[in-house]
Amino acid sequence: MPKTVLTGLRANGELTLGNYLGAILPMVQTLQNLEEGDKFFLFVPDLHSFTTPIDHTQLYRNSLNNIKIYLASGVDSNRENVFLYRQSHIPAHSELAWILSCFTYYGELQRMIQFKEKSSQQGQNVSVGLFTYPILMAADILLYGADYVPVGEDQRQHLELARDLAIRFNNKFGEIFVVPQVWQKQLEFVKRVEGTKIYSLTDPTKKMSKSINDPKGTILLTDKPLDAAKKIMSAATDNLASINWDWNNQPGITNLLQIYALLKNIPTHEAVKIWKGQTQYSNLKKETAELVVEFLTNLQARVSKITDAQAEDILQKGEINATKIAKQTLLKVQKAVGVVKSQ
């Protein structure tokens, strides 16, 4: 059966190593194994990028930069069935989001961990967009019939909501949506044993995030490679003098092992085997820093060769093609809910 793979990364600032390892890398790896008939959608959810305040003068540029990073990471936009686009340029996303919102329960959205966390950080002025954001994400996924959605662990609950909405809608109206695969199958698809969450290098109990001001704990994909190396070398660890995969007692070391394994493209259990028995953390830090330097140097060299005009051309083509697919799904939904004649 042909598969559809889809993911998106917001453009609310510069992308981080967490974004790359959690979403771009598994996406690019699956692209290498795509078979005939499979479809691959990689987009910029630019309408999702200001659910919390941003500098809007930077949004357009940040969206283009995301596209450049996708391309530099190895996405070949010339391949048939590869679609690169911006969410805002395909109105079907917003239209479907509205329709889905009428089938989403208030209580369901209230349970979303990310909403609870982000709204508590923001105080009084929490936008409605932050609350309804998972519905737009469900629309992003369901419009294209995605089976697999490579995302980091923090997006798991949102993906599960998209599944629930697809099932609810299909139960009411018949087989309209493809139901995305369950989380365990998502992990198997990207060959990971657990959901990916890269933690801050200064506080390894917190997620590495572009929306938190934590420059020493966050590696940006635009960081100078040697600055990034310094961040790894000064990463917070522990004083147990033993290297183990143990998120509870050694989150800093486990985070470094995870970064090391993913950049080296080996399973985590192999990384653990390599470092088991070592009592000094400096070698693990040094080798991880070297991997980060090599990765950033290569990525940045490739990004610098892509012009704005090239990125815009690719988007234009992608948006025309993705619109056709999105419109077909939207039409089925419009007929189902009765706003368009069904025969």
- The residues near 322 (Cβ < 8 Å, ≥ 6 apart) are 41, 43, 83, 85, 90, 144
Distances (CA, A) of 333 to 4, 173, 184, 299, 338: 19, 9, 28, 40, 8
96 binds ligand TYM (CB under 6 A): no
* Closest to ligand TYM by CB, 21 or 228: 21
* Closest to ligand TYM by CB, 140 or 223: 140
Residue 206, Cβ neighbours under 10 Å: how many? Answer: 13
Count of chain residues binding ligand TYM (CB under 6 A) = 27
Q: Are the C-beta atoms of residues 232 and 287 closer than 8 Å to each other?
A: no
Q: Which token pair is 180?
A: 């995305």
Name the strands in the sheet holding 82-86, side by side, starting at the edge strand that comes first in the sequence. 4-8, 39-44, 82-86
Closest of 204, 224, 202 to residue 215, by C-alpha: 202
Q: Are the C-beta atoms of residues 170 and 176 closer than 8 Å to each other?
A: yes
CA-based torsion, 312, 316, 317, 321: positive or negative: positive
250 binds ligand TYM (CB under 6 A): no
Q: Which token pair is 333?
A: 């939904």
- Residue-wise DSSP of 128-179: HHHHHHHHHHHHHHHTTT-SB----GGGHHHHHHHHHHHHHHHHHHSS-SPP
151 binds ligand TYM (CB under 6 A): yes
Task: Give the residues across from 43 on adjacent strands.
Answer: 8, 85
Shortest Cβ 45–ligand TYM spacing (Å): 4
Among the listed residues 95, 140, 147, 319, the single contact to ligand TYM using CB under 6 A = 140
Which residue bears the tokens 């089976």? 147
Q: Which residues of 46-79 are buried (b: 16+ CB within 10 A; e: fewer)?
A: bbbbbbbebeeeebeebbbbbbbbbbbbebebee
Q: Kindly write out the interface string for residues 152-171 of this chain, putting x where it contacts ligand TYM by CB under 6 A and - elsewhere.
A: x-xx--x-------------
Asked about 210 being catalytic, the answer comes back as yes
Asked about 317 being catalytic, the answer comes back as no
Which among 3, 207, 231, 285 is annotated as catalytic? 207
113 by DSSP, 3-state: which? helix
Applying the rule CB under 6 A, the residues between 6 and 25 that interact with ligand TYM are: 6-10, 18-19, 21-23
Shortest Cβ 304–ligand TYM spacing (Å): 23
Shortest Cβ 214–ligand TYM spacing (Å): 11
Shortest Cβ 334–ligand TYM spacing (Å): 21
Q: Are the C-beta atoms of residues 55 and 99 closer than 8 Å to each other?
A: no
* Closest to ligand TYM by CB, 204 or 225: 204
Which among 39, 118, 231, 285 is annotated as catalytic? 118
Among the listed residues 3, 48, 86, 231, the single contact to ligand TYM using CB under 6 A = 48
88 binds ligand TYM (CB under 6 A): no
Which among 210, 224, 317, 341 is annotated as catalytic? 210
Shortest Cβ 100–ligand TYM spacing (Å): 13
Q: Residue 170: what residue type?
A: N
Nearest residue to ligand TYM by CB is 22
Q: Kindly write out the interface string for residues 188-217 of this chain, putting x where it contacts ligand TYM by CB under 6 A and - elsewhere.
A: --------xxx--------xxx--------
137 binds ligand TYM (CB under 6 A): yes
Asked about 286 being catalytic, the answer comes back as no
Residues taking part in catalysis: 118, 207, 210
Residue ranges that bind ligand TYM, judged by CB under 6 A: 6-10, 18-19, 21-23, 45, 48, 137, 140-141, 149, 151-152, 154-155, 158, 196-198, 207-209
